[in-house]
Amino acid sequence: MILTLLILIPLVAGIAAMAMKGAAKGISLLSSVAVTVTSLLVFTSINSFGPNGFVEWSMPWIPSLGSNISLMGDSMALVLCLLTGIVMTIVVITNWNKDVERPGSFYGLMLLAQAGITGVFLASDALLFYFFWELALIPVYFLSSIWGGEKRIAVTFKFFVYTFVGSLMLLAALIYLSLQNPGGNSFALENIIRAGASLPADQQQWMFWLIFIAFAIKMPIFPLHTWQPDAYEQSPTPVTIILSALMVKMGIYGVVRWLLPVVPDAVAFWSDTVITLSVIGIVYASLLAIVQTDLKRLVAYSSIAHMGLMSAAAFANTDVAMHGLVIQMFNHGINIAGMWVIVSMIEQRWGTRDMRQLGGMANTAPLMTIALVVIALANIALPLTNGFIGEFMLFNGLFASASQYHVTFMVVAGLGIILGAVYTLNMVQRTAYGEAVAMKAGGDITMNEYIGLAIIIGLIIFLGVYPKPLLDLTAGIMMP
Amino acid sequence: MKAIIAATLLGVIMMFTGLFVKDKRQVVMIATIAFLALLGITIWEVQDASSAAPAMLFNNMLRIDSYALWFNMMMAGCTFLYVLLMGKDIMRVGNHVAEYFTLILFILCGIFLLTGYNNLLMLFIGIEIMSIPQYILAGADRRNLKSNEASLKYFLMGAFTTGLLLMGITLLYGATGSFYITDFTFLRTDALNPMALAGIMFILISFAFKVSAVPMHMWTPDVYDGSPTAFTAFMSTIVKAGAFVGFLRLFHIAFGSLSEHWMLIVALITAATLLVGNITAVFQQSVKRMLAYSSIAQAGFMLFAIASVNASAWQGMIIYGVAYSVATIGLFSVLIKMKDYTYDGFNGLAKKQPVVAFFTTIFLLSLAGIPLTGGFMAKYFVLNAAVQQGGLLWLVIFALLMAAISVYYYFRVIIAMYFKQGEAEMAVEINGGDRILLGITCALVILLGVAPHLFLGSI
């Protein structure tokens, strides 16, 4: 029952925010904090049921289709719900001083998107999963198209069509799988898994590609990533944070929950191909990130590189990779949110995101520079930051993979770390040091930004130095 | 049975109302009551049909089963909603308001025959009763050249395909010696008669015309575009759903056992309909014309129900018919109030009429098949039927790609309303009552999306 709260709180708050424009910010903050606290409570409590503890809740929905409203929260789902709560809190806090046009609709839609994303993480019924998958997309479409940058309409539409095509592929596969259940239509996760595993190899391959493309577009995996830099660049920063910190996680999460266990034979057959695409994506995106001059595009490409490593690890088929994946999903969400917050602060103060027109931030805004450096170091996974522990486990898991090419994968993916250091430190150098450029407006960090960044940096350092609590809470995670 | 008689009688009463009641508003009021009464009678009939056995009437010419009753009720409900939403717009079409409602009642009578026929002659009569009033309605705006063109074109083409239908029925009679669709024992044997197959093909072609399936769709854009918008809304939705049920009954009950001979043809028609409907809709500049092509594209999805001979297809037909009708009627009722029917005419509607823009968005999302709306469930049911049928997975994937294309033209309206600057001038002001009705329609669309089983009853 408590799981429904995680979805209902943002849903109700979203509708309330739309109705009460003046209080929209306050409502969003309350709702985000409530979600964070609730998911933290559930997350810590399921551990008392043992390492694989979970809570579930179910009620009938459409009996003739064999679909129920069933939610299931295990440690992987709940760590992502927790991330959703924290990221939303950070978004609201850091935007507290900014005036958006029509705040009621803006925050309302943000909260609706949050409800959809949380639903995706918790649904254990395929049709319900699909519903939430789309519910998360529609508000984001409106958010980016109304409040985005100059080219927003075309770019957001491209993003929408990409993901929608993917979703429809997913839908075809889910319908097919739901019909394979011996006792009549069923969308329950365990029945989908049973149905998929019982399919002959050639049908599994069909199902694999239909499902995989949907998730690959969302993650995004090279070469289906072309919507992503544009969409990140053109969306307003709060939406970019939702997209990059939370929505791409839906893709990875989908792979782990709805692809790997469902068509095991096809996954074993195609995992080398997928890992190859992923590591190509790491290097390709990193190289592109190096030549970017726009901060938002740079962070966008860096995000593709990070997601590439995660998707490679998801297909590595080892327990440690899976455990690392969950840790890294959480940490990447925090770090990338931090990156965007800093980028948006820079844009607000200097009126540009072009690194060629920036410099000397260390003199003009020392506190911001400290935050930028810490977050940048976490982004390149320096030890003692949270990024390190996750990436270390991912590489460890990738190396332990049974694939005959595991060393090659490892080496090429390792290049990504070096290239990551190149573009990230280059960015720090070009913005923070060199000749100082005068600010157009505002000063160093304001109070609300201070709080938001303190949460991010606190988590980066705490989980970097002492990751044990998070590792313990997710200890039960292994290959599906 | 009661519904058929009621529709006819109410139609006649409506006709005479026109003689005595001169105030158009009162006519609309009386018509609304008539349609409510008809809805009441269909509901009563559903409640009353206690036994599962179908009622055989008029020497077994009609066989009204629970499916037919349920479908009649849904169609009467949709028509009632249509009259509520567009009654005032029908009033503005011309001077013979009472006659328009009479014709709509007669069309419903034809649909009721199509849901319950057991005899090919009844099918023919049903099709004709359904079609002839439409020819008149298409030309109701007498001083408009396009309306005249629509009427003439529709009539000539319709008459031609009616001929094909008759030809098909004749050939089938020649092959089997019977008009009764449940009586075609001859067709159930393995021995195949070329004459019967030719008959099936003729009937297939004429139905393809009635439901505007490619390649018999050429009349659709001109007729739907030229007819008064108030009647386009009715012709492209409820009438189409009615024709589809007639199609479904014949091909599943009478020709179901021969499905291997016509399934591929229907599948190819489906693919062509989806392709032509969606691709051509992309290039339209007028929302009304786009909706005409979109109705071809949506017919492509409904054809899935014909191509899949199983019980899910029958369920899917109800859900699709209702979901498509409700959303399209809602959309038309907004469109008809706009001054400019092009996409640009919708520019800035969200600023001017936020509530109406929101409802319009929901209708468009439903037509595009986005989850949580009726359109998604409708597509889900028919595609589910096709996957169950087996061997049609290629068509399902093709249809899903086409659904993705449809997002382009439906979202253009959303983009115009929300993201473009403009005045969005209204020809007719939208008042509070309209908003409430649109809100109810919108609630129905959502309800269809989250609880479709409510609309299936015990089917």
Tens of pLDDT, residues A114-146: 999 999 999 999 999 999 998 898 999 999 888
pLDDT in tens, A1-22: 788 888 999 999 999 988 888 8
In the structure encoding, which two tokens stand for residue B361, read together?
A: 């968005």
For chain B, give the mean pLDDT.
90
Distance from CA of A175 to the nearest CA of B (A): 6
Q: State the pTM of this model.
A: 0.89
Mean pLDDT over B171-200 rounds to 79
User: Residue A480's pLDDT is what?
Assistant: 66
Residue A205's contacts (CB-CB under 8 Å, 6 or more residues apart) are A263, A266, A269, A270
B214: left (phi > 0), else alpha (psi -120 to 50), else beta?
Answer: beta
Question: Which of B278, B304, B380 has the most A C-beta neighbours within 10 Å, making it the best mutation to test the interface with A?
Answer: B380
Distance from CA of A70 to the nearest CA of B (A): 15
Residues of chain B neighbouring A134 (CB-CB closer than 8 A): 370-372
Q: Confidence band (pLDDT; 50, 70, 90) for B399?
A: very high
Between CA B444 and CA B452 the distance in angstroms is 10
Residues of chain B neighbouring A168 (CB-CB closer than 8 A): 400-401, 403-404
Tell me: pLDDT of B190 over 80: no
Residues of chain A neighbouring B388 (CB-CB closer than 8 A): 179
B355 contacts chain A (CB < 8 A): no
Closest CA to A470 of A353, A323, A270: A323
Which B-chain residues 15-74 have CB contacts (< 8 A) with chain A?
none
B178 burial via Cβ count (<10 Å: 0-12, 13-18, 19+):
middle
Residues of A with CB under 8 A from a CB of B: 62-65, 130-131, 133-135, 138, 142, 145-146, 152-153, 157, 160-161, 164-165, 168-169, 171-172, 175-176, 179, 185, 206, 210
User: Residue B271's pLDDT is what?
Assistant: 95
Question: Which of B347, B397, B417 has the most A C-beta neighbours within 10 Å, making it the best mutation to test the interface with A?
Answer: B397
pLDDT in tens, B107-147: 999 999 999 999 999 999 999 999 999 999 999 988 889 99
Question: Which of A169, A175, A185, A235 has the most B C-beta neighbours within 10 Å, making it the best mutation to test the interface with B?
Answer: A175
Is the link from the previous residue into B215 a cis peptide, with omega within 30 of 0?
yes
Which of A62, A142, A164 faces B407 most closely, judged by CB atoms? A164
Which B-chain residues 379-418 have CB contacts (< 8 A) with chain A?
380, 383-384, 387-388, 393, 396-397, 400-401, 403-404, 407-408, 411, 415, 418
Quick count: other Cβ atoms within 10 Å of Cβ B39? 22
Helix, coil or strand: residue B340: coil
pLDDT in tens, A387-428: 898 888 998 888 888 888 888 888 888 888 899 999 999 999
Q: Could you tell me how far CA A182 lies from the centroid of its own chain?
A: 35
Contact call for A176 and B383, based on CB within 8 A: no
Contact call for A160 and B452, based on CB within 8 A: no
Helix axes B287-307, B393-419, angle to 10 degrees: 160
CB-defined contacts A:B, below 8 A? 67
Contact call for B452 and A62, based on CB within 8 A: yes
For every residue of B341-355, DSSP letters joined together read -BGGGGTTHHHH-HH
Residues of chain B neighbouring A130 (CB-CB closer than 8 A): 371
Tell me: pLDDT of B186 over 60: no
Quick count: other Cβ atoms within 10 Å of Cβ B340? 17
Question: Which residues of chain A carry a pLDDT beneath 50?
Answer: none
Tell me: pLDDT of B365 over 90: yes
B453: left (phi > 0), else alpha (psi -120 to 50), else beta?
Answer: alpha
User: Residue B189's pLDDT is what?
Assistant: 59
Residues of chain A neighbouring B456 (CB-CB closer than 8 A): 64
In the structure encoding, which two tokens stand for residue A236, read together?
A: 């307003």
Tell me: pLDDT of B254 over 90: no
Closest CA to A424 of A364, A475, A373: A373
Closest CA to A138 of A110, A165, A98, A166: A110
Distance from CA of A30 to the nearest CA of B (A): 27
Which of B400, B415, B418 faces A172 most closely, judged by CB atoms? B400
Quick count: other Cβ atoms within 10 Å of Cβ B91? 18
Tell me: pLDDT of B191 over 70: no
In the structure encoding, which two tokens stand for residue A58, read together?
A: 């179910």
User: Residue B188's pLDDT is what?
Assistant: 61
- Site of tokens 């929209």: A24
B446 contacts chain A (CB < 8 A): no
Residues of chain A neighbouring B403 (CB-CB closer than 8 A): 168
Tell me: pLDDT of B420 over 90: no
Question: Which H or E run contains B231?
Answer: helix B229-235
Residues of chain B neighbouring A165 (CB-CB closer than 8 A): 401, 404
- Site of tokens 């990738």: A398
**Chain A residue whose CA is closest to B388:** A179
Helix, coil or strand: residue A69: strand
Specify the long-range contacts of residues A448-452, CB closer than 8 Å, at least 24 apart. Answer: A448/A93, A448/A94, A448/A96, A448/A97, A449/A93, A449/A94, A449/A97, A449/A341, A449/A345, A450/A367, A451/A93, A452/A90, A452/A93, A452/A94, A452/A341
Distance from CA of A170 to the nearest CA of B (A): 10
Contact B76, B105 (CB under 8 A): no
Contact call for A164 and B404, based on CB within 8 A: yes
Question: Which of B319, B384, B455 has the most A C-beta neighbours within 10 Å, making it the best mutation to test the interface with A?
Answer: B384
B52 burial via Cβ count (<10 Å: 0-12, 13-18, 19+):
exposed
User: Residue B85's pLDDT is what?
Assistant: 93
Which B-chain residues 93-122 have CB contacts (< 8 A) with chain A?
none
Helix, coil or strand: residue B243: helix
Burial A108-123 (b: 16+ CB within 10 A, else e): bbbbbbbbbbbbbbbb
Which of A138, A145, A185 faces B419 most closely, judged by CB atoms? A145
Question: Which of A11, A21, A61, A62 has the most B C-beta neighbours within 10 Å, making it the best mutation to test the interface with B?
Answer: A62
Residue B83's contacts (CB-CB under 8 Å, 6 or more residues apart) are B31, B32, B35, B90, B101, B104
Q: Confidence band (pLDDT; 50, 70, 90) for B187?
A: low
CA R_g for chain B: 21
**Chain B residue whose CA is closest to A60:** B451
Which of B370, B418, B452 faces A146 most closely, judged by CB atoms? B418
Question: Which of B315, B362, B370, B401 has the most A C-beta neighbours within 10 Å, making it the best mutation to test the interface with A?
Answer: B370
Which B-chain residues 280-319 have CB contacts (< 8 A) with chain A?
315
Residue B456's contacts (CB-CB under 8 Å, 6 or more residues apart) are A64, B70, B315, B318, B319
Residues of chain B neighbouring A209 (CB-CB closer than 8 A): none
Closest CA to B289 of B357, B349, B223, B215: B223
